Structure 1
C-alpha cells in the first residue's frame, strides 16, 4: 500500500518546549526504553511525562513528576496528548495502541514487529497519513552507519555485482523464554494474531536489515516470500526457519535463523558479490569486507532511533519509517498465513540445562543454516534429516529408484536450485541397500555440486556446472552471467528404468544441447546394487557445439565435466583403480574402474540413523569407465569428496548434429568394504556394459 507522505511536522520545539514523551509498556524491552529516556532527559533532549502499564514500575524507578497510568486510554484521557508515544508492549497490542496514539495527535515510536498482520499495517499506515503524524519502527539496526557505508561500497563496484544476500542468526532461548508471558511462542491468542517467532520477533532485525540492503522497503519491492518453518520447542511458533525472499529487482535474500543453537553467536547479514563480499555484524555495527585486495574490518557508530524521531520533520527524515517496513510486513504476512511450523523430531534435538534454563539444540544446525544461506536453499530442498522425519515434501512426490522394494535414490528435477548453480536434474540422496547415504548436494564448500548426474562447465561458453567459470583470459575462476540450466522436457519412469528428454538452455533461453538420458538400476546381490547412467548429447543449434572444461581452458589437472558424483563426508577413505591407489595417482588416470570405500558419516550429508550419531557406516562405490571413450578419472578427496569422468580433460570435444557425444557409466553401490578381488568378481558377473 502506498500513501502520500505525511505533512511537515517538527517534533522538537513545536511549542518552544522540550518534546513530551510517554512510554507504554515499562517491562521487558520497555526497561531499555526507560534507560534511554533517562539518558535523553538528562541531556535536555526530551521530557518524560508519563508511562502506562498494568504493572506499574518499581518505586523510585521514575522521577516523581512522571504520571503513571494503567493504560494508554487512561493516559490520553488525563490531558493533552504527548508529542511522542513509545509503544513497547505485546505484539498483538501494537496496532490498536498505535491507532489510539495517532488519533490523539501523537507521533509514534512502535517497537518491532510493528504490527501482527498486513491488514493492521495498512490500517496504521493510513491513520498516520490521515493524522499527519509520523511513525518510527524500532528496528534499531537500521540506525547503523554501516548501512550507508555498505551501499556506498556496493555502488563503487568494490565487490563487483551483487549475487545475493543472506541473513544468519543463531541464538539459543530457554524454556523460560517461551513461558515468560501468555503470548510468547504463540501464533495467535484467543483468536487474535500474535505471530511471535524467530523471524518475526527474536531475529526480526536480521530480516529487516537484509531487506534494507536488498533495496526492499515497500510491499511492492517484494516479488515472492517462501517460508520453511520448524520448531523444536513446545510452542505454536517457529524457532528454526529459512525465509527466502525474491525482490522485484531479482535480488534473493535468504534468512537462516534459529533459537536452537548450541551457543549464541552474533547475527549477521552478508552481501555476496562477484569480486568479494561484505558481512555486517549488525549488533556490533562492524563490517568484514573481502575484496581481491584482501580482508579489512571497519567499525561504525549508530544513530538512536528515538533521537532520529525527535529531530525528524517528515517521514522522509526517519531511518526506520513505517512506510519502509512494507517489505518486512510481507515476510511477516507470509509467516502468519503459512501452515503451522512442523515439529522437529526429538531424535534430532538435544536438550541442555535443567528446568526453565533448559534449551533445545537442533543437531548440526550451524552447518544446515550455513548451507541454506550459501545455497539459497530451504531445509526441505537441502534434505535436512528432520524434514524426512516430518514426512513432508516440497510439492509433488519425487520419483524414486527402488530395488527389492527399497528406495535407493530420489530424482530431483533441480528446478528450485539457484540460477548461479546451473539448475539441472540429478539424483540425491543415493543410498546403499542398507540405507547409508552415499551422495551429497548443495554442500557448504561447493553449493553448486548436485548429487549424481551430468554437468559441464563450458558448453560453447555457457556454464552448465555452476559457480565461477575458469577462463583462459583471466587465468582464474571468475563470476560471470553465463549460467545455463538443464530442463526436463519429458520422462518415462518404470521399474528398473527411467528415460528422460532434457534441454540444455543458455542464459538467453535458447536451447544449446538436447540430451537423451537413461537410468537403469537393479540388485546385484543382498548388499550391492547397480546404477547405470547412459546419456547422449547432441547439438540443438544446427552446428557443432564445443564441450569444454577448466582443463581445456588452461587449468592444469582441472578437466572436470560430464558425469559427476558428489559424495558426502567420508572417513578413512580409500581410493584406487586396478593399477593405482590414492587421490594424486588416480586423478587424471585412465582405468576400467575406480573404487572409493570408507565410513560414510551422517553429519549433514546423512549416512547413519538418528539413533547412532557420529558412528557412520562402511560402504564402497565402484565407478566403471565408459566403454565409448577412454575418459580420464577426475578425483577429489583432500578438498572435497567427488568423482567424475572427464569429457574434455585437456581439449574440448565437439558434438555435431550428426555425431552426438554418447557415454555410459555404471556404478556399483555396496554396503561394507570391498577388496579388489571382490570388485573384479562383481564386474565379471555383470558382463560387458557395451
Structure 2
C-alpha cells in the first residue's frame, strides 16, 4: 500500500496513507515549555481507520506527548519532563534538572516502495547547556496493510556519551520508588485507552501483572469513545534488545492502564547502568498500529510475518 510523505521543514514529517488518513506526525520543532523537556515526539499517531491512539499534553501529565524517547533519571538530570522524583520527598518541580533533546538535522531521508526511512541526528543537552550525548535515531514506516488493518513503525536509537564522565541511567525505582521504573521509549495513550487491556508474549494477566516483567512483545487494546471501534498497539523488541551479549542493560515493561494508559520500554527499571565516556549503546523497537481488538494469537502470528 502506498503512502505520501510530507516534510514541513522546521516543523514535522507527516505520513499519510493511501486512503487519506494521516497516520503519523513526527514533530521535531522545539516545544515552547522547557519544564516539559523539549524533544521530538510522534503525535498524532492513528490507525488506518483514522482512530487516534496517542495522547498529547494530558491534564495529568503535560509532558506526556504521544510517542517519545525519554530518560527520566540521567546523572541527576531529567530528560522525561515535569516533576523529578527525589527519595523521601516525592515528586518535586525542579526545573534546573530538566534537560532537552535538540534536533540537529536529518542525515538520511528516503521514501519509496510504500515506506519511509529517516535518520535523525540529535544532541542531549543538560539544563545548564552542556552537551552530554549524541543520538542517531532511526524511524521507519512500513508494512502499511489495509486488508490487515495495520501498519508498522520501527524506532531505533544509538546513543553516544560525549561528556568526560559516565552517563548513569536510572528511573524513579532505582531512586527509591517501588514499581515506577519508567524511562526509555514511552507511549502515552489517548484518553479512551484508560482501562484498556494489556497482555504480553508470555505472562498472563493485565497491566498490573505485566509491570516490571520482561518479554519480546506487549500488546494494548482498547475500545474508543464516540465510535464503535477498537484499536490495538503492539510494542516489540528487536532480538538484540533482550540478548545479554549485545544489550547494554536488561529491559523491562513499564505499563499502566489505570489511572493513565502508558507503556515504556524501560532500559533501567530496577538497576542503574553506566555508559562510559566515548561509549555507545543501541536499541531497536517496533510498534504495530492496528484497527480492531487483536488477541494473543493474532499478535503472535502477525509479528512472525514481520522479520527484522
* TM-score, shorter chain, exceeding 0.5: yes
Within 1, Cα distance between the matches of 2:67 and 2:228? 21
TM-score, structure 2 normalization: 0.86
Within 2, Cα distance between the matches of 1:626 and 1:550? 25
- State the 1:580 CA deviation: 1.8
Gaps of 5+ in 1: 1-393, 602-613
Post-superposition CA distance 1:41-84 (Å, at most 9, x none): xxxxxxxxxxxxxxxxxxxxxxxxxxxxxxxxxxxxxxxxxxxx
> Match for residue 303 of structure 2?
683
Q: Within the alignment, does 1:576 sit opposite 2:215 as a pair?
A: no
Aligned length: 282
Say whether the 8 Å CA contact 1:537–1:655 is kept in structure 2.
no
> Match for residue 5 of structure 2?
none
Say whether the 8 Å CA contact 2:196–2:261 is kept in structure 1.
no
Q: Within the alignment, does 1:566 sit opposite 2:180 as a pair?
A: no
Say whether the 8 Å CA contact 1:568–1:600 is kept in structure 2.
no
3-state DSSP of counterpart to 1:455: coil
Say whether the 8 Å CA contact 2:11–2:29 is kept in structure 1.
no
- State the 1:616 CA deviation: 5.4
- State the 1:570 CA deviation: 2.5
Q: Within the alignment, does 1:624 sit opposite 2:247 as a pair?
A: no
Counterparts in 2 of 1:514 and 1:397: CA distance versus 1, 3 Å: closer
Counterparts in 2 of 1:408 and 1:552: CA distance versus 1, 3 Å: same
Counterparts in 2 of 1:657 and 1:616: CA distance versus 1, 3 Å: farther
> Match for residue 81 of structure 2?
466
> Match for residue 540 of structure 1?
162
- State the 1:433 CA deviation: 1.0
Say whether the 8 Å CA contact 1:543–1:656 is kept in structure 2.
yes
Within 2, Cα distance between the matches of 1:456 and 1:414? 19
Counterparts in 2 of 1:556 and 1:403: CA distance versus 1, 3 Å: same
Say whether the 8 Å CA contact 2:162–2:278 is kept in structure 1.
no
Within 1, Cα distance between the matches of 2:183 and 2:39? 14
**Greater RCO structure (CA 8 Å; 6+ sep):** 2
- Which one of 664, 669, 677 corresponds to residue 289 of structure 2? 669
Counterparts in 2 of 1:563 and 1:534: CA distance versus 1, 3 Å: same
- State the 1:507 CA deviation: 1.2
3-state DSSP of counterpart to 2:39: coil
> Match for residue 477 of structure 1?
91
Within 2, Cα distance between the matches of 1:500 and 1:395? 13
Counterparts in 2 of 1:518 and 1:581: CA distance versus 1, 3 Å: same
Gaps of 5+ in 2: 1-7, 243-249
- State the 1:403 CA deviation: 4.2
> Match for residue 551 of structure 1?
173
Say whether the 8 Å CA contact 1:548–1:653 is kept in structure 2.
yes
Counterparts in 2 of 1:597 and 1:565: CA distance versus 1, 3 Å: same
Post-superposition CA distance 1:283-335 (Å, at most 9, x none): xxxxxxxxxxxxxxxxxxxxxxxxxxxxxxxxxxxxxxxxxxxxxxxxxxxxx
Say whether the 8 Å CA contact 2:218–2:235 is kept in structure 1.
yes
Within 2, Cα distance between the matches of 1:626 and 1:418? 33
Say whether the 8 Å CA contact 1:403–1:521 is kept in structure 2.
no
Within 2, Cα distance between the matches of 1:437 and 1:541? 39
Within 2, Cα distance between the matches of 1:669 and 1:551? 29
TM-score, structure 1 normalization: 0.39
- State the 1:618 CA deviation: 1.1
3-state DSSP of counterpart to 2:71: strand
Within 1, Cα distance between the matches of 2:124 and 2:138? 16
Larger strand fraction of residues: 2
**How do residues 43-62 of structure 1 correspond to structure 2 at under 5 angstroms?**
none
- State the 1:661 CA deviation: 2.2
Greater gyration radius: 1
